[in-house]
Amino acid sequence: MENNFSKESWQYLMNAEREFDKKNYSLSMRLAQDAVSKRIEESETNFTILTNAITPYQVRKVGDNINDVLDILKERQEYDAIKIINFYTTKMGYEYFSSSIKKLSEYISNYREYPEAYFLIAKIYHIEGEFDMALTYLEKARANSFLLEIPQNENDILFLMSEIAEYKKDIPMQEKALILIARNSGDFQNEILKKAIIRTSKSTKDDNSSRFFKLYRVDAVSCVNSYNKLSHIYLDSKKYEDAYLTSAYSVLICFTHLNSLLEERESDYVYSDLKGFFRELARYPDMMKWCNDVNFWESFYNLCDIGLKCGYTRFPKDIITSLSEFCPENYWKLAASKRLKELNSLSENQ
């Protein structure tokens, strides 16, 4: 947001983004580069003011605590330095700097980097087909993501990196970017959840598919595409358990999101089984469209085949049976019915 300490760079970036939206890419590039230059100037000015204010012995002797430094700066009437300290501590919080004037000073020195501008420049290079240059700026944006005004925007940087890597057929780079997105959701590193999902998937209890969705939730809707793509990467490389887990996460993320929407729209709705869930889902065209947009049905369908490759038996068949009986999307209902017949035929011939 606009402030006295990064006003010009911010204004240049806003203008650059407006020109980008109007597809004036050359002008947008020039303005974004100007934003980077202004950001450097602003950072250097703020860093110099603060350094000059805290260097004298009378200030250094009070120690590293920000509040103690502020007290002595007030006595010395170092008002510009006080404004700078107050701006950044209000923006980030004292805890971010561990109440250390040294850490705050280092942060201001690093503030010369402008990840939002780097990302915009990368998008322009991407549009122009300059993928290596785009990746260079994406790496700079990613390396300085701790400076993002909106931390969640790191995923946008990583998504574009993964898209370029996919185009260049650089699977290791694509996988790395997608894993970083997945990790940002929090649940990807939850080993307890992973083990529980596998344990339930191996179970031979009746109607495990409905029970599965009673047990687990993953609230990370912004990461669903990364899990879909990771599942395909792992499936192609025959890492079946990894493919299964990422596919399961994708399905659980979609289910969690959709189930929450149903609870918001229907005061008496409570999930009990997949039949009821699918029935209610069919009432809302916007939710059905979203399911197709994020490949919910395909991921659901894939749980069966990938699960079978992992050696699971009952759960994959329950999944495909539920889809064949209750799926409100006719294409995937028919596909599931066909797959179920094939599985039943195989069982009869064994």
Q: Which residue has the tokens 């191996």?
A: 202
Cite the DSSP H helix spans in the chain: 7-21, 25-54, 57-60, 66-75, 79-92, 101-110, 115-127, 131-143, 154-167, 171-184, 191-202, 208-215, 224-236, 240-265, 274-281, 285-293, 296-309, 314-326, 330-349
Confidence of residue 128 (pLDDT cuts 50, 70, 90): very high
What is the reported pTM? 0.83
SS3 288: helix
Confidence of residue 345 (pLDDT cuts 50, 70, 90): confident
Residue 219: pLDDT over 80 = yes
Q: Which of 46-50, 167-171, 182-186, 292-296 has the least mean pLDDT?
A: 182-186
| Cα(195)–Cα(189) distance, integer angstroms | 11
Confidence of residue 2 (pLDDT cuts 50, 70, 90): very low
Residue 3: pLDDT over 70 = no
pLDDT tens for 234-250 read 999 999 999 999 999 99
Mean pLDDT for the stretch of residues 7-36: 95
Amino acid at 87: F
Confidence of residue 349 (pLDDT cuts 50, 70, 90): low
| Cα(156)–Cα(81) distance, integer angstroms | 34
| Cα(38)–Cα(44) distance, integer angstroms | 10
Quote the DSSP letter at residue 256.
H
Residue 254: pLDDT over 70 = yes
| Cα(85)–Cα(242) distance, integer angstroms | 47
Mean pLDDT for the stretch of residues 44-65: 94
How many C-alpha atoms does 124 have within 13 Å on its Cβ side?
25
| Cα(274)–Cα(323) distance, integer angstroms | 9
Closest by CA to 323, choosing from 313, 311, 334, is 334
Amino acid at 177: A
Mean pLDDT for the stretch of residues 252-274: 95
How much is the mean pLDDT over the chain?
92
Q: Which of 12-16, 202-206, 252-256 has the least mean pLDDT?
A: 202-206
Residue 6: pLDDT over 70 = no
